[in-house]
Amino acid sequence: MRILRAFILMPLLSMTLVLASQGAVAAALRPHDWDDKVEQRFERDNPTEVVIWNNKLAAEDATPEDNDLKRNFWVCHSDTDDRYGACATKGVWGAPAGPTVKLRFTEVRSGATYSLELAALKHTGVEAALHGANSINGVTAVRIDVRIPASELKKLPAGGIWKAHLKLKQLKWDPGFPQAAVANAEITLRVTDTKNVQIFLPEHHTTTPTVDLGLTGQVSRDGRTTGHRNIDMCLYDGFGAHSSLFDVTIKDGLTVPQRAPGNFSVVRDGTSGQSPRERIDYRVTYVHNGQRKTFINGETVSLPGGNSAEVRSVYLPNIPVPVLCKPMPLTLETPEFNAKEKSAGSYTGKLKIIFSPSAQSL
């Protein structure tokens, strides 16, 4: 009898599970609030589409005949203020697909702003505008699709970390259009602009300026002279000064004897500067964190970046908005020497400055 009793109970238990499973399939999906985060990194001149909501299921009726939740639609908080997205603020029955959402992005460090047009659709069997309510036979669900086309991303005026907050209200197509849910998306775009990484020299309108060493005192009786020349320089990393390191190398490309380690030189025209009489040696210094430091010829100096780094707002060629660069003013210091011990003539040299922002941060 015990065996027979177990045999009879098992089919009854299975039937109960099947019935419960069938009931769950028919349940409706009620609207609920979203708080999503979207982050994407790309090169400014070669962006890829940023998907915020990919045909996301927002609500679903239990059956096609219910004709309730699938009529939901979305509106913006304003049709003019694009801080959280500007689009229609009222629903329209059957509004066709096409209208976009204008959303303001802010570069977090410089404060520059720029607005982009987001492609936005709702799906209820057919594509429609976000604010377009409709009811399609045989359909139960309503979905939302919002993305930033690559063509819009290319319009961002500069590299940096651009952020925006999209807020949409999901409404019901009922008297008074009650709110069913809120859709929020925090969007972060990490935009690099490596083609515009540059060494900015505000006092010069070229990347190959000519400067002198500022030598003085050559008219003195004993011929003693020295020099001092300041060069304003600012480093733009193409990433809104968000790079973790700024690597700078300065070299003159000369190999000459009897020169103090780390020094640089200008040589008399027509010579190689091998003799001390045919060249003038100088140092290159810079100020960091209030302390003056000396560049070593050919060696790389790594300056820390990040939010604590000193920055400066400047306008650069081909960039329509102000951007932030890291100041690194240089000073060319010529130690005292006797001009009478140098051969007469013109002295020239090249000072090559190489700047590379941290590859990890880019």
Kindly state the greatest CA–CA separation across the chain: 129
Question: Kindly report the CA angle at 318 between 317 and 320, in degrees rounded to 5?
Answer: 100
Q: Topology of domain 195-357, per CATH?
A: Immunoglobulin-like (2.60.40)
What is the pLDDT at residue 200?
95
Domain with CATH 2.60.40.2040 in the chain: 195-357
Query: What pLDDT is attached to residue 290?
Result: 82
Q: Which residue in the block uniquely carries the two structure tokens 């999503």? A: 36
- Which residues make Cβ contacts (< 8 Å) with residue 257, sequence separation at least 6? 274
Neighbours of 297 (CB within 10 A): 20
Task: Give dist(CA 210, CA 216) in Å, integer.
Answer: 18
* Sequence-ordered list of residues with C-beta below 8 angstroms from that of 84, at least 6 positions apart, any chain: 76, 77, 78, 103, 165, 166, 167
Note the pLDDT of residue 317: 86
pLDDT at position 2: 30
Strand partners, 161: 190
Residue 133: enclosing H or E segment and its boundaries? strand 132-133
| pLDDT of res. 220 | 62
Q: What does the alpha-carbon distance between residue 342 and residue 279 come to, in Å, rounded to a whole number?
A: 7
DSSP string, 253-266: ----SS--TT-EEE
DSSP alpha helix (H) spans, the chain: 2-25, 150-153
Fold of 28-192: Immunoglobulin-like (2.60.40)
Q: What is the pLDDT of residue 18?
A: 37
Q: Is 25 left (phi over 0), alpha (psi -120 to 50) or beta?
A: alpha
Task: List, by residue range, all CATH 2.60.40.2520 domains of the chain.
Answer: 28-192
Q: What is the pLDDT of residue 4?
A: 30
Distance CA 234, CA 87 (A): 41
CA angle, 273 then 275 then 279, to 5° = 45
- According to the model, what pLDDT value does residue 218 have? 57
pLDDT digit string (tens) for the chain, length 362 residues:
332 332 222 333 333 333 334 444 458 899 999 999 999 999 999 999 999 999 999 999 999 889 899 999 999 999 999 999 999 999 999 999 999 999 999 999 999 999 999 999 999 989 999 999 998 999 999 999 999 999 999 999 999 999 999 999 999 999 999 999 999 999 999 999 999 999 999 998 888 899 999 998 655 667 889 999 999 999 999 999 999 999 999 999 999 999 999 999 999 999 999 999 999 999 999 988 788 999 999 999 999 987 778 899 999 988 999 999 999 999 999 999 999 999 999 999 999 999 999 754 44
pTM (2 d.p.): 0.85
State the Cα–Cα distance between residues 40 and 50, nearest whole angstrom: 7
3-state secondary structure of 179: strand
